[in-house]
Amino acid sequence: MFPLNQWYVAGFAWELKDRPLARKLLNYPIVMFRTEDGGVAALEDRCCHRAVPLSCGTLEGSGIRCGYHGLLFGAAGQCLEIPGQVKIPGKAKVQAFPAEIRNEVIWIWFGAEQGDAPSVPPPAVAAHENPRYTWKGGVFHYDAPYQLIHDNLLDLSHVGYLHGRTIGGNAKVHMEAPTTVSGEGDHVRVVRHMTGSLPPATYSAAWPFKGRIDRWQEIDFLLTHLQIFTGAVDVGTDSLANPERGGFHMRGFHGITPETDTTSHYFWTMASSAHPDQPDNAEVVYQQTALTFEEDRVLIEAQYRNMCEYGAGPMVDIHVDSGPNRARRIVAAHTAVQAG
């Protein structure tokens, strides 16, 4: 079971082109397309006539036409036309999911009951509209459960070992970084500081640091996504407690959406700042970030294969597991309530 009555990331606005976009989300096959007003529609990917995927059809101004017998469905799921037949049966409709685009992210509301309306607007990704930043993103598919990705993102102590070519750095410094874990309700916040450290490869490629740096990692977890603020300033030049601090900023958005019980979608963007002496660093940051996340994907899939191989044996927690464990308790509390 997955937490319901939540907005989940389903994709990005730039993916909505002249053909249907099909994805399985939370075990639901869903088809998405642009509406005439520039928004997004999300329907079950199954024609009510003969169960052919609607994603095999074509898009028209008013909706999506099934590629088998030509039934046309509107954004609300109702059948608008049956070629060769005047009367449209009342049952000729498919399930529609509430969907919105905000800051170029496609969000779909999954209610506890079919037809439940959203109780809150979709989350904002402020970095996407901040003129200080340039951003770009992508999509990964994981052959692993979504909570393993949560674990990975809430524990950045691993980057010194796994990401030595990009955002890593001294592994010992990462493991010993002072860390604060807090939170309220469905929110978990992890803050880590690494002062006086050497800049990793990605930072050096994107920003003209003078030597050692004061580095931060601020992770904010919510049930369906995380926003991670990382970066650095030249050592001693600004307070890491200053919300308006300068230096090199990387603001990551991470939409972690289950595909099935054992597979996941990872929708990500990275927004970064640029130094006047290195104004064209956006593509470097994007490429380095994509490489980093691919390293995560390979390792997490290997982790899950090993878990399947060895079975549900005991695992020992260490000091870096506080954030991931708190997030797992939040998810478990939601699914327990849903289970009754």
Residues 211 and 250 in one domain: yes
Confirm whether 45 is domain-assigned: yes
Confirm whether 173 is domain-assigned: yes
Residues 153 and 222 in one domain: yes
Residues 151 and 241 in one domain: yes
Confirm whether 1 is domain-assigned: no
Confirm whether 124 is domain-assigned: no
What is residue 340's predicted lDDT score, i.e. its pLDDT? 83
Residues 148 and 269 in one domain: yes
Confirm whether 245 is domain-assigned: yes
How are beta strands 40-44 and 134-142 bridged, if at all?
unpaired
Confirm whether 211 is domain-assigned: yes
**CATH number of the domain residue 92 falls in:** 2.102.10.10
What is residue 114's predicted lDDT score, i.e. its pLDDT? 86
Residues 249 and 310 in one domain: yes
Confirm whether 119 is domain-assigned: no
Distance in angstroms (rounded) separating the CA atoms of residues 123 and 103: 9
Look at residues 110, 139, 170 and tell me which one is the last residue of a structural domain: 110
What is residue 336's predicted lDDT score, i.e. its pLDDT? 96
Residues 176 and 37 in one domain: no
Confirm whether 121 is domain-assigned: no
**CATH number of the domain residue 173 falls in:** 3.90.380.10
Residues 134 and 105 in one domain: no
What is residue 266's predicted lDDT score, i.e. its pLDDT? 98
Total count of domains within the chain: 2
What is residue 91's predicted lDDT score, i.e. its pLDDT? 96
Residues 72 and 168 in one domain: no
Residues 103 and 159 in one domain: no
Residues 63 and 134 in one domain: no
Q: In the block, which residue shows the tokens 């608008």?
A: 80
Look at residues 82, 110, 138 and tell me which one is the last residue of a structural domain: 110
Contacts of residue 279, defined as CB under 8 A and 6 or more positions apart, other chains included, come to: none
List per-residue pLDDT tens for the chain, 340 residues long: 899 999 999 999 999 999 999 999 999 999 999 999 999 999 999 999 999 999 999 999 889 999 999 999 999 999 999 999 999 999 999 999 999 999 999 999 999 988 889 999 999 999 999 999 999 999 999 999 999 999 999 999 999 999 999 999 899 999 999 999 999 999 999 999 999 999 999 999 999 999 999 999 999 999 999 999 999 999 999 999 999 999 999 999 999 999 999 999 999 999 999 999 999 999 999 999 999 999 999 999 999 999 999 998 888 999 999 999 999 999 999 999 998 8
Residues 42 and 165 in one domain: no
Residues 102 and 74 in one domain: yes
What's the one-letter identity of residue 331?
V
Structural domain boundaries, residue 29: 6-110
Contact 47, 29 (CB under 8 A): no
Q: Which two tokens stand for residue 73?
A: 């469905």
What is residue 283's predicted lDDT score, i.e. its pLDDT? 96
What's the one-letter identity of residue 123?
P
Look at residues 79, 110, 141 and tell me which one is the last residue of a structural domain: 110
